[in-house]
Structure formats: C-alpha cells, structure tokens
C-alpha cells in the first residue's frame, strides 16, 4: 500500500505543484486511482473541512485546497469510467437583469466550486431569457440568482416565470441571494432556497440536492 | 516590533523643549520635598543641593543630567515562562491592566461590590489567558485579608495565576520585603531573581513635588535588590497641579525626573521607568476625571518628554469615566488609547479592565479591552510597505476583472496583515439574528466564564507551595 502522507499534506497546504507531482509519483509507483482519490485527496479535503470548521483554516486556504484537488483529479480522470466520479451538482449562476454587481455572486461561485459543485457562471445583467437558454443547454441542478439592488429584485420572479414557461422549472432548484434579499422574499416568489452569505449558500445547495 | 508608524508627537519639538526646560527650572529653583533625613543625607552626599530646614532637595541641571545618564535606556521585565518578556527601550509597546481598585462590577449579581482576594486570582487568570494584555498589575485590593500578610498574599495569588510579569504596589517596607521573600523562593534564589526579575514594584510621588519616606524606603529596597521600579506622579490639573496642561506636564516632568534621579543616586544603573499618570479634574464638580480627553493627551505628551532622556516610559491609556462597559467606555477608551499608543510608549497601563475613573474593574471589561488592545498593536505595526506588500506582481497576474482570494499572495499575507477580532460583531445580519442578537457584554461574559472555568488553577508547583508555606507559617490562604 502506498503512503499518501505527502499528498495529503500538500492538499491541506493547497500546494498545487507538490500535490500534482505526488499524484503522478504514486500513480507511477502503481497505486490504484480510486485508492489515491479516497485515501489521498479526499482524506486531505476531509482534514481541510475539519480545520475550516474549527476556524483553524481560512476561506482562501480552503479554496486553494479545493483547487489543488481539482488539479490532481485531472491526472486521475483517465482511470475512471464516466459516472464514477460525480460532481456534487451543476449550478447555473448569475446576477439578474439590470444589476451589475458581482462580488457576492463571485464569492458564492468560488465557495460552491470549492465544495465540489460544477459552476456555470453567466456573469452580470443576465436576462430571464439567457438563464432559460443556458439552463436548457447545461441542464443544471440549481439555478442561482443574485441581486444587490431592491430595484432589480423583480428580475428574480420574472426569471422563475420564464423557467416555468420553458417547462423546466420543476427540473431545477432555484436559489436566490444578495444584500436586500430575504428568506421571506424567497418564499413570496416561490424560490426553493435563500442563502445569506457564501458559506451558507454551499450548505443550502447541499440540502437542496440532498448531498453532503 | 517592526513599525512603519512615524510616532505621533502631541507637542512640536520646541514646545516639548519648553516643557522640559520648565521642569528642570522647577527642580533647580523650587525643588522636591523629601520627608526623610536619611535620604536627604544620601542625596546631599551624592551632590544634590539639600535644604534641611525645608526638607527640600534641588537638582542643579548638570548634576541632574549626570545622574540621569546612569539610568538604563533599555532593560527587560521578565515573565516567569519566558513567553512574555517585555523588552523596554526597543520601540515595543506593551499594554497591561491597572491596579489596586477597590470595587468590581460583578456580572453574577449585576451589582457592584468590594474586591476580594479571589478577584486578584481571577483577574490574574484573565490576564494570563488574554494574549494582548502583556503584563499583570495586581488589579484590586483584597478587602478580605488583614494588613499583616497583605503583600505576601496579593503577590502570591498573582504569581499563582499568571506567569506574565507581575507589577504591584507595596504599602511599606515590610510589604515589599514580604513580596521579595516570596519572589526569591519562586525564583529559586536571590541571584536568579536579580538576574531575571519577573516582578516589579509601582510607587508614586505625591503631587505637587513631594516624595515621602515610605516611598523612598521601598525604592531603596527594590533598587538594592535588583527589582525594577516605577515611581509615577499623578498630578491632577487644577487641583494638585496647574490648571493648564502645559503647567501640569511641566510639574509632572520635574517629579518624574526627580524620581528617576533618586533611584540612580540610591543604586546607579537601577532598572527604572520614567513614569507618569497626569490627570485632570472636572472643575464643575471637583471630580477626578482619569477618563478625560486631556488625560489622554497629557499621557501621550509624557511619552515625548521621557524620550528626550532616552528612558523607557511607563504611561497610561484607556481609562474611562463610565461605570459599565458601555458606549461611553468604548469611546473614551478608544480616544485615549489612540492618543497614547501611537506615541511610542514602552509600557501602557490601566488599559485593561478598568471602569469608573480607575476605581472599579469588571472581568468583562478585561476581555473587551483585550480586543481593543489587539487593534492598538495593529495600529502600532503600521502599514508594511515593501516590494512584496506593494503587490505589483500579483496585481499584474490577476489583471482586470479577476480576484485575489486564492492567490499565494493572499494566503501568504492573510495572517499577518489583519487583526481578527474575537468578540466584535462581524457576521451578517441574518446570522446575527439567528444567534439571538448577541451584544458585546453578553459575549464578553460568556468568554469570561469560559476562561475562569478553564483557567489554570494554581500555576506554582506543589513543592514550591510547600516551601512557601514553610517560610510563611500560619497563613491560611496559602
């Protein structure tokens, strides 16, 4: 059995170069890809999660560890059948029409990607039509919308209506967030979930999809 | 501590010189009253001008300079475990609590009561745990113990609950001897205590312009035994000093310099701090107001005056008139702390735990002040400017529209560029609501409970305690 200590350490540190080199070296030494994934990369990320929840690691470190894992996965992917490794879920995200603010939305994207979701980011000023069109194309599990202005918030229910008209509302979960947005508003417009910040967006998304 | 901070000078250099000159005139022409023939003799023998009839000592300028030059410009106040040694005279700021109050705001009852020996233990435990409070001043009077073993007990409880440097006042020669005997046992011998003194003694002059025999006895004993001392004037503008700030500073400066000079006559090279706690009075009511904005300004100016003589300086900041940890406490502390910490003082006391113009303490205020002091150290560190921190390379590599969150540069600097508070509210509004809208006082109280419950009880080891018991038989508190 191979020793994954160095790989685990590199994942925890978010040291992409070392982690990729380690992954290659254990592969070359004949380790099984599933073994590397489970006992190396995932073991490292579990420790990262643990440390993060205790406040011993900060968000940038956690995201770098996630990025490190992703880079290592590129080496392992050829060894897996399609469907062997699944993402936590596909998320289509954007700031709604009329709104050009993207800091919060970007933080949410980053955190979700770090947590293992596959993100398609439509950027800012995204019309209901664009959301619908892209949703048809990528078939996301979640459509996530952000707004910073009370004046652009009505774009959220309009987008939900557009999803409905296109017949895909029941195929996706809708999440909303942004400074003026509230839980109550989410209920009013019949969104499926509301998150108050980037960290809770991840846990809400996991809840919606029933993944951990 | 590396700092980019150009130290704040509340006085222009020529105004500081004018105050210094006035202070020196006071010493030359008015002099200091010394209530002790023994010490008048010593001072006369050392070359001071002594007027026995009026118990007055005058300090000729050249003689004063010569004596002051003997005082060390840097020395170390040691901690017992070596983790919190205070390197004075090296542009470090060390911030601590203040001492010997008589009342405490007791959150358990919500009311005020007299302080007891257990409060010495608890405040020492708090300071031991709170990283930003770098030394412990015996915080309060113990109303439940008799005078006979008073300083044996208050110092014993301090030593037994913190390994940080302990400072305390002593009532008389008997008290300071008791403390020294105890400290000698803990140090493992007189030489070891002298080599690394982990305790120092606080004394005061009596404004205006008086030093009493008791204080001189204590200074004499400490300097002879290598115990660092401070002897701070506490002039009150408008009452025991002129109503003008410049006048109060001039008189304070004379008193501070006289105290330093006297220690250097008693024991050349003795470890002494230029100490000063200039204060004011609210002349509408004759209330002492240690929390006034002018108190902050004058304590800042005192630092500048000490620096003229290249002496380590012990000043005060962060005092409030407020009776509770409230809004007034926050802003009065903030304003005075900011004035004092940016001047380059070595030691700043009274900053943690105090309320009520220095008459009361509150455990909760200790943990709140610990957080404020963390911000003060951050200010002292200043803004680090070098090729790496300027960040041109990372800005170039991220480019327009990107983000910096996962860059190496971010991870490399996120720990040392920012102060991360423990108590202050930083969560978003929803989270704050979910947590039941906690306020500062409730969070501070939670932290106090946690520290006192987890507090290391009895830091001195059992053999040492047996030895102390043997040396001081009959004290039921040890």
Assigned domain for A84 exists: no
Is A13 a domain residue?
yes
Q: What is the pLDDT of residue A46?
A: 86
Per the CB < 8 A criterion, the answer to whether A172 and A166 are in contact is: no
Residues A69 and A150 in one domain: no
Q: Work out the percent of chain B whose per-residue pLDDT is above 90.
A: 89
Cβ within 8 Å of residue B169, ≥6 positions away = B99, B100, B138, B201, B202, B203, B204
Q: How far apart are alpha carbons A91 and A108 in whole angstroms? A: 11
A161 domain residue, yes or no: yes
Is A85 part of any domain? no
pLDDT of A49 reads 83
Describe chain B by its helix, strand, coil percentages, rounded to 5: 45, 15, 35
Residue B387 CB coordination number (10 Å): 8
In this prediction, residue A107 carries a pLDDT of 84
Q: How far is B433 from chain A (nearest CA, A)?
A: 12
Query: Per the structure, how many domains does chain A have?
Result: 2
The enclosing domain of A69 has a CATH number of 1.10.1240.10
Chain A contact set for B406 (CB, 8 A): 14, 60, 63-64, 67, 110
**CB neighbour list of residue B308: distance below 8 Å, 6 or more residues apart:** B16, B17, B20
Contacts of residue B106, defined as CB under 8 A and 6 or more positions apart, other chains included, come to B112, B113
pLDDT in tens, B324-348: 999 999 999 999 999 999 998 999 9
d(CA A79, CA A66): 20
Q: How sure is the predictor about A83, in pLDDT bands with cuts at 50, 70 and 90?
A: low
The whole-number pLDDT of residue B27 equals 98
Mean pLDDT of chain B: 95
Strand bridging mode B135-137 / B165-169: parallel
Residues on B contacting A at a C-beta cutoff of 8 Å: 403, 405-407, 410-411, 414, 428-431
Do B346 and B89 meet the contact criterion of CB atoms below 8 Å apart?
yes
Same structural domain, A132 and A66: no
Residue of chain B minimizing CA distance to A183: B430
In a domain, A172, yes or no: yes
Higher-confidence position of A79 and A143:
A143
Nearest CA distance, B408 vs chain A (angstrom): 9
Residues A49 and A73 in one domain: yes
**Of A29, A52, A79, which marks where a domain is finished?**
A79
Chain A residue with CA closest to B402: the answer is: A106
Q: What is the mean pLDDT of chain A?
A: 91
Query: Which DSSP helix (H) or strand (E) runs through B316?
Result: strand B313-316
**A27-42 pLDDT, tens digit each:** 999 999 989 988 999 8
pLDDT per residue as tens digits for the range B190-210: 999 999 999 999 999 999 999
Single out the residue in A46, A79, A112 at which a domain terminates.
A79
pLDDT at position A55 over 90 = no
Residue range A131-147: mean pLDDT, rounded: 96
Q: Are the beta carbons of A110 and B431 separated by less than 8 Å?
A: no
Structure confidence at residue B353 (pLDDT): 97
Residue A38 belongs to what domain range?
5-79
**Domain check: are A19 and A103 in the same one?**
no
Residue A198 has pLDDT above 90, yes or no: no
Q: What is the pLDDT of residue B93?
A: 93
Residue A19 shares a structural domain with residue A121: no
Q: What is the pLDDT of residues B154-177, one digit of tens each?
A: 999 999 999 999 999 999 999 999
Are A203 and A113 part of one and the same domain?
A: yes
Residue A211 confidence (pLDDT)? 86
Which CATH architecture describes the domain B1-383+421-478?
Answer: Alpha-Beta Barrel (3.20)
Classified as helix, coil or strand, A149 is coil
Residue A184 has pLDDT above 70, yes or no: yes
B1 pLDDT above the threshold of 70: no
Q: Using the beta-carbon criterion (under 8 Å), do A110 and B405 form an inter-chain contact?
A: yes
Q: What is the pTM of this model?
A: 0.89
Same domain (yes/no): A118, A185: yes
Given an 8 Å threshold on Cβ–Cβ distance, is B411 in contact with A67?
A: no
Range of weakest confidence among A1-15, B201-215, B301-315, B410-424: A1-15
**A-B contacts (CB, under 8 Å):** 30
Q: Per the CB < 8 Å rule, is A64 touching B406? A: yes
- Is residue A101 pLDDT above 90, yes or no? no
Separation between Cα atoms, residue A202 and residue B96, nearest integer Å:
42
For residue range B105-132, list pLDDT tens digits in order.
998 888 999 999 999 999 999 999 999 9
A129 shares a domain with A180? yes
CA neighbor of B263 nearest in space, from B420, B81, B68? B68
How does pLDDT run across B389-418, given as a tens digit for each residue? Answer: 999 999 999 999 888 988 989 999 999 999
List phi, psi (to 5°) of B167.
Answer: -120, 145
Q: Where are the domains of chain B?
A: 1-383+421-478, 387-417
> Which stretches of chain A sit within 8 Å of chain B by CB?
14, 58-61, 63-64, 67, 106-107, 110, 183, 196-197, 200
Burial environment of residue B385 by CB neighbours within 10 A (0 to 12, 13 to 18, 19 or more): exposed
- What digits encode the pLDDT tens for the residues B87-96? 999 989 999 9
Among candidates B403, B59, B23, B348, which has minimal Cα distance to A111?
Answer: B403
Per-residue confidence (pLDDT) for residue B478, from 0 to 100: 86
Is residue A49 located within the same domain as residue A120? no
Band of pLDDT at residue B2, cut at 50, 70 and 90: low
Q: How far is B405 from chain A (nearest CA, A)?
A: 5
Planar angle of CA B180, B198, B308, nearest 5 degrees: 110
The per-residue pLDDT for B273 is 97
CATH number of the domain enclosing A182? 3.40.50.280
Residue A2 pLDDT: 60
Residue where one domain finishes, among candidates A79, A105, A134:
A79
Lowest mean pLDDT among A46-55, A177-186, B218-227: A46-55
């Amino acid at each position: 059995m191979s020793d994954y200590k160095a790989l685990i350490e590199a994942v925890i540190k978010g040291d992409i170069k070392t982690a990729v080199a380690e992954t290659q070296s254990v592969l070359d030494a004949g380790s099984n890809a599933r073994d590397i994934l489970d006992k190396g990369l995932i073991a490292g990320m579990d420790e990262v999660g643990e440390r993060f929840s205790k406040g011993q690691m900060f968000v940038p470190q956690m995201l770098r560890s996630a990025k490190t894992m992703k880079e290592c996965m590129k080496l392992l992917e050829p060894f897996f059948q399609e469907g062997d490794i699944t993402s936590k879920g596909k998320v289509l995200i954007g700031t709604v029409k009329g709104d050009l603010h993207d800091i919060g939305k970007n933080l949410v994207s980053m955190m979700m990607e770090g947590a293992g979701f596959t993100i398609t980011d439509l950027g800012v000023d995204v019309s209901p039509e664009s959301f619908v069109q892209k949703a048809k194309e990528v078939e996301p599990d979640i459509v996530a919308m952000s707004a910073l202005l009370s004046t652009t918030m009505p774009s959220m229910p309009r987008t939900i209506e557009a999803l409905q008209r296109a017949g895909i509302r029941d195929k996706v979960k809708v999440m909303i967030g942004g400074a003026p947005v509230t839980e109550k508003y989410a209920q009013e417009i019949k969104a499926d979930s509301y998150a108050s910040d980037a960290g809770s967006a991840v846990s809400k998304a996991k809840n919606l999809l029933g993944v951990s | 501590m590396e700092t980019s901070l150009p130290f704040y000078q509340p006085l222009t250099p020529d105004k500081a010189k004018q105050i210094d000159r006035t202070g020196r005139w006071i010493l030359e022409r008015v002099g200091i009253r010394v209530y002790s023939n023994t010490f008048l003799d010593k001072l006369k023998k050392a070359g001071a001008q002594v007027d026995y009839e009026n118990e007055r000592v005058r300090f000729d300028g050249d003689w004063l300079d010569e004596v002051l030059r003997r005082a060390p410009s840097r020395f170390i106040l040691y901690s017992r475990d070596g983790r919190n040694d205070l390197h004075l005279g090296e542009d470090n700021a060390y911030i601590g609590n203040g001492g010997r109050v008589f009342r405490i705001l007791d959150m358990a009852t919500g009311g005020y009561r007299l302080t007891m020996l257990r409060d010495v233990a608890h405040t020492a435990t708090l300071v031991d745990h709170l990283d930003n409070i770098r030394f412990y001043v015996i915080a309060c009077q113990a109303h439940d113990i008799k005078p006979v073993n008073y300083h044996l007990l208050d110092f014993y409880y301090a030593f037994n609950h913190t390994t940080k440097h302990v400072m305390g006042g002593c009532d008389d020669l008997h008290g300071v001897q008791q403390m020294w005997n105890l400290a000698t046992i803990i140090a493992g011998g007189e030489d070891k205590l002298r080599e690394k003194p982990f305790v120092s003694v606080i004394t005061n002059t009596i404004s205006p312009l008086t030093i009493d025999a008791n204080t001189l006895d204590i200074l004499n004993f400490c300097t002879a035994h290598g115990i660092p001392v401070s002897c701070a004037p506490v002039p009150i503008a408008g009452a025991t000093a002129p109503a003008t700030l410049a006048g109060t500073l001039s008189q304070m400066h004379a008193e501070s310099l006289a105290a330093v000079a006297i220690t250097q006559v008693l024991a050349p090279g003795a470890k002494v701090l230029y100490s000063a706690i200039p204060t004011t009075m609210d002349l509408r009511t004759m209330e002492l107001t240690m929390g006034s904005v002018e108190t902050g300004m004058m304590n800042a100016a005192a630092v500048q005056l000490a620096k003229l003589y290249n002496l380590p300086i012990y000043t005060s900041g962060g005092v409030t008139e407020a009776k509770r940890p409230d809004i007034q406490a926050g802003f009065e502390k903030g304003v005075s702390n900011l004035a004092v910490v940016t001047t380059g003082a070595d030691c700043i006391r009274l900053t943690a735990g105090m309320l009520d113009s220095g008459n009361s303490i509150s455990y909760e205020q200790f943990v709140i002040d610990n957080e404020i002091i963390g911000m003060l150290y951050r200010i002292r560190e200043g803004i680090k400017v070098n090729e790496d921190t300027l960040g041109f390379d990372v800005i170039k590599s991220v480019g327009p529209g990107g983000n910096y969150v996962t860059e190496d540069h971010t991870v490399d600097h996120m720990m040392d560029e920012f102060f991360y508070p423990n108590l202050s509210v930083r969560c978003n509004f929803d989270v704050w609501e979910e947590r039941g809208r906690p306020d500062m006082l409730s969070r501070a109280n939670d932290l106090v409970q946690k520290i006192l419950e987890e507090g290391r009880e009895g830091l001195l080891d059992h053999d040492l305690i047996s030895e102390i018991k043997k040396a001081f038989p009959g004290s039921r508190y040890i």
